[in-house]
């Protein structure tokens, strides 16, 4: 009985196992070429969670993960700790070895790749004194990120990060001249078949940005929390940086065609639909159209019942208090502080919205109410969208960069850049101040032509004025060596007046303003307080000086321009150059 009982029990177990195999197969059969597999396999395919969907499959990585016997979390924790400790103790060899181990243990953890490649390119590289060592570590960071991008195919964040580091770290750091040179000559980084022209960090950066955009556009990856403006404008920004950089290298013809391409791409970017955080979809280059339409709608609405708008204003004016009215009638310069507030309130009260007009129409001509409401709603929507586009345009500094890529193609600008290049060569490399002076003067004549052709460039929000100002500082150094000063008929005094942030020309500028009667001649003229030559280590102190001098010499205050131009630089997301360098 006992033996038979045991036999039956085994049979029952066998039967249960056989029955359970069926749902198990339904649930977890692997996908094959012919079938989609079980439910789990389908879910995996649907959410692209299979290892093959994520990126390259690395048997070593899988083996090591298994070899941790379920203690992967613990191992990762220990290794991260070690990595931090190695970094603290400057043990770079073991740091990179630890990162390799971590890469095998958590190959699909995106933050790991971003964080640690940044660590290598930015934090480890600066620990070295020799710029070739520094470049080595920048490149290691980039290669590490590329390794991550292989494990995580089509990940827009990693691809974008690659574009960023290749562009900004190599092309914008203090060592950019050296880094760009080393990058071009880096046979270990570039594949053999890459043509020398393509071995430019900005072009490589652009290529990765484009990959990143393609992964979102063509392969359906999510942009995540990244701002679409920054994301989609990045490839073209790299193209512009490329154009600028090769211009600085003296390759003017190529630079012009690079700027031409920049302009085309920037216009394409302007035509790209961008989703605002409120869900409104907008395009940069529909701004003008929308503004015209807004004007039309507002006008049509106002003319639906003649004089409706004027009557609203009249009513509003009648409702003003006598003090408000008096404040409004006083010229702005003569208003007291209290009147200033009152006038502001009054102006607000007198502002007529489409909604108010529509309501007035509804009262005065009820048959037009529906039409008026519809138009008011349209006007409001248009106004809102116009506001969004303007804000987004500011974020990308769209208009400036469009203008920049246009004017850089002009003959005058190219000639100006070339002459500046030759002037610098004459002074720095040939120690010939006479030729340098001549080239500079010819160049500034060309710059004057450029500014005449593109007067918007004088806008203090742009960076071109600053660029020209730095050329003028260099020119001034040449003149100092020749014991001369900038002539009164110098064509770019306007630039000096607006962009002389170093205050090297404070006295001259003041003199000119006084001559034009813009400054009260009785006002104090503390020109002597211009900052003396300071040591590099004191650069931080000098930085703050212009503002204080500004306040002292110009109590009426026009110093806002400088900070505005600073702000626009910041908006571009490009770090200011090291003041100490």
Partner 1 sequence: MVLEKEILPFFQWLLRGEGATVAEGEGALVLFAVVLATVFVLSLVGGFLVSLIRHGPIRAGEIAYNTLTVGFSELARTSPRRIGALASVAAKDSVRRRVWVALILFGLILLSAGWFLQANNTQPARLFLSFVLTATSYLILLLSLLLSAFSLPGDFRTKTLYTIVTKPVRAGDIVLGRMLGFTLVGTALLVVMAVASWVFVNGSLSHTHKVDLETLEALRDPDGQSLGQQGLSSYDLFHKHDLTLDPDGGGVVEAAHGHTHPVVKGGDRYVIGPAEGFVRARVPKRGKLRFLDRKGVETARGISVGSEWGYRSYIQGSTQAAAIWTFDGVKASNLVDYEDGGGSYLPVELIVRVYRSYKGEIERGIQGSIQLRNPDTEVKTNLRTFYAKDATIDSFQFANEQTSTDQQPITILNDLISEDGRIEVIVQALDRNQYFGFAQADCYLRLPEGSALWNFVKGYLSIWMQMVIVIAVAVTASTFLKGPIAMLFTVAFLILGLNRDFFVKIATEQSFGGGPIESAVRMRLQMNQMSPFDPSPAVTVMQSLDDLLELMMLGLSYVLPDFSTLLGRVTFVAEGFSIPADALARDFVVCVAYVAGAAIIGYFCLRSREVAK
**CA–CA gap between residue 542 and residue 483 (Å, rounded):** 25
The piece of 124-132, 256-264, 283-291, 421-429 that touches partner 1 (CB under 8 A) is: 124-132
Tell me how many residues contact partner 1 (CB under 8 A): 33
The piece of 127-135, 374-382, 472-480, 561-569 that touches partner 1 (CB under 8 A) is: 127-135
x/- mask, partner 1, residues 79-98, rule CB under 8 A, reads: ---------xxxxxxx-xx-
Residue in 2, 429, 537, 556 binding partner 1, rule: CB under 8 A? 537
Residue length of the chain? 581
188 part of the interface to partner 1, by CB under 8 A: yes
150 part of the interface to partner 1, by CB under 8 A: no
Of residues 100 and 488, the one with the C-beta less far from partner 1: 100
Of residues 334 and 535, the one with the C-beta less far from partner 1: 535
Task: Name the strand (E) or helix (H) holding 131.
Answer: helix 131-151
CA angle 424, 410, 252 (to 5 degrees): 45
In a 10 Å sphere around its CB, with 0-12 CB exposed, 13-18 middle and 19+ buried, how is residue 332 labelled? exposed
429 part of the interface to partner 1, by CB under 8 A: no
187 part of the interface to partner 1, by CB under 8 A: yes
3-state secondary structure of 335: coil
356 part of the interface to partner 1, by CB under 8 A: no
Closest by Cα among 412, 397, 469 to 443: 412
**Residue 579, token pair as written in the block:** 């003041």
Q: Smallest gap, in angstroms, from Cβ of residue 80 to partner 1?
A: 15
Residue in 3, 34, 70, 130 binding partner 1, rule: CB under 8 A? 130
576 part of the interface to partner 1, by CB under 8 A: no
Instruction: Tell me the DSSP string of 221-279.
Output: ---TTS-HHHHHHHHHHHHHHHHHHHHHTT-HHHHHHHHHHHHHHHHHHHTS-EE-TTS
Per-position b or e across 365-375, b if 16+ CB within 10 A of its CB:
eeebeeebbeb
Q: Smallest gap, in angstroms, from Cβ of residue 131 to partner 1?
A: 5
Using CB under 8 A, which residues numbered 3 to 62 contact partner 1?
60
Closest by Cα among 296, 203, 184 to 257: 203
**CA–CA gap between residue 76 and residue 68 (Å, rounded):** 10
Asked if 306 and 299 touch (Cβ cutoff 8 Å), the reply is no
543 part of the interface to partner 1, by CB under 8 A: no
Of residues 137 and 160, the one with the C-beta less far from partner 1: 137
Of residues 154 and 175, the one with the C-beta less far from partner 1: 175
DSSP state of 282: E
580 part of the interface to partner 1, by CB under 8 A: yes
194 part of the interface to partner 1, by CB under 8 A: no
The piece of 117-125, 128-136, 271-279, 564-572 that touches partner 1 (CB under 8 A) is: 128-136
Of residues 102 and 478, the one with the C-beta less far from partner 1: 102
Side-chain half-sphere exposure of 540, counting CA atoms within 13 A = 1
Residue in 175, 200, 210, 562 binding partner 1, rule: CB under 8 A? 175
Q: Are strands 281-282 and 274-275 parallel, antiparallel or unpaired?
A: antiparallel
Closest by Cα among 180, 144, 177 to 162: 144
136 part of the interface to partner 1, by CB under 8 A: yes
Positions touching partner 1 (CB under 8 A) are 60, 63-64, 88-94, 96-97, 100-101, 104, 128-131, 133, 136, 174-175, 178, 187-188, 535-537, 539, 578, 580-581
């Amino acid at each position: 009985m006992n033996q038979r009982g045991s036999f039956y029990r085994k049979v029952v177990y066998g039967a249960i196992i056989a029955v359970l195999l069926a749902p198990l197969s339904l649930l977890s059969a692997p996908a094959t070429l012919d079938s989609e597999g079980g439910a789990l396999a389908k879910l995996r395919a649907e959410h692209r969670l299979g290892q093959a969907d994520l990126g390259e499959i690395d048997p070593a990585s899988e083996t090591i993960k298994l070899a941790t016997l379920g203690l992967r979390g613990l191992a990762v924790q220990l290794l991260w700790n070690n990595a931090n400790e190695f970094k603290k103790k400057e043990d770079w060899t073991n740091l990179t070895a630890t990162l390799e181990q971590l890469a095998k243990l958590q190959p699909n953890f995106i933050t790991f790749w971003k964080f640690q490649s940044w660590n290598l390119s930015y934090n480890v590289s600066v620990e070295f004194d020799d710029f070739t060592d520094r470049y080595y570590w920048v490149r290691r960071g980039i290669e590490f990120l590329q390794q991550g991008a292989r494990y995580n195919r089509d990940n827009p964040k990693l691809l974008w990060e690659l574009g960023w580091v290749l562009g900004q770290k190599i092309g914008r750091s203090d060592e950019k001249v050296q880094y760009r040179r080393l990058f071009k000559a880096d046979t270990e980084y570039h594949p053999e078949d890459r043509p020398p022209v393509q071995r430019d960090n900005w072009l490589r950066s652009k290529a990765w940005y484009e990959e990143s955009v393609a992964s979102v556009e063509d392969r359906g990856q999510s942009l995540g929390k990244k701002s679409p403006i920054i994301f989609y404008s990045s490839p073209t920004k790299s193209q512009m940086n490329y154009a600028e950089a090769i211009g600085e290298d003296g390759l003017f013809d190529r630079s012009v065609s690079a700027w031409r391409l920049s302009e085309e791409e920037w216009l394409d970017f302007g035509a790209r639909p961008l989703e605002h955080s409120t869900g409104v979809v907008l395009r940069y280059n529909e701004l003008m159209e929308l503004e015209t339409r807004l004007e039309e709608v507002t006008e049509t609405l106002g003319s639906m019942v003649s004089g409706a708008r004027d009557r609203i204003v009249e009513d509003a004016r009648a409702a003003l208090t006598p003090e408000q009215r008096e404040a409004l009638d006083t010229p702005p310069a003569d208003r007291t502080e209290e009147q200033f507030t009152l006038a502001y309130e009054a102006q607000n009260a007198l502002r007529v919205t489409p909604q108010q007009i529509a309501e007035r129409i509804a009262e005065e001509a009820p048959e037009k109410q529906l039409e008026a409401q519809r138009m008011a709603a349209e006007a409001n929507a248009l106004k809102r969208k116009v506001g969004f586009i303007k804000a987004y345009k500011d974020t990308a500094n769209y208009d400036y960069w469009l203008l920049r890529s246009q004017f850089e193609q002009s003959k005058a600008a190219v000639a100006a850049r070339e002459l500046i290049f030759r002037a610098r060569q004459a002074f720095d490399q040939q120690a010939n101040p006479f030729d340098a002076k001549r080239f500079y003067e010819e160049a500034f004549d060309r710059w004057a032509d450029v500014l005449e052709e593109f007067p918007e460039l004088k806008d203090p929000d742009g960076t071109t004025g600053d660029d020209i100002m730095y050329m003028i500082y260099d020119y001034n150094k040449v003149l100092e060596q020749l014991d001369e000063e900038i002539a009164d008929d110098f064509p770019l005094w306007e630039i000096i007046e607006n962009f002389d942030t170093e205050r090297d020309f404070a006295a001259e500028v003041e003199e000119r303003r006084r001559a034009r009667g813009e400054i009260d001649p009785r006002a104090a003229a503390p020109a002597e307080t211009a900052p003396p030559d300071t040591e590099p280590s004191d650069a931080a102190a000098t930085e703050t000086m212009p503002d204080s001098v500004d306040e002292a010499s110009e109590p009426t205050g026009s110093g806002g321009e400088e900070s505005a131009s600073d702000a626009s630089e910041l908006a571009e997301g490009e770090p200011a150059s090291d003041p100490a360098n």
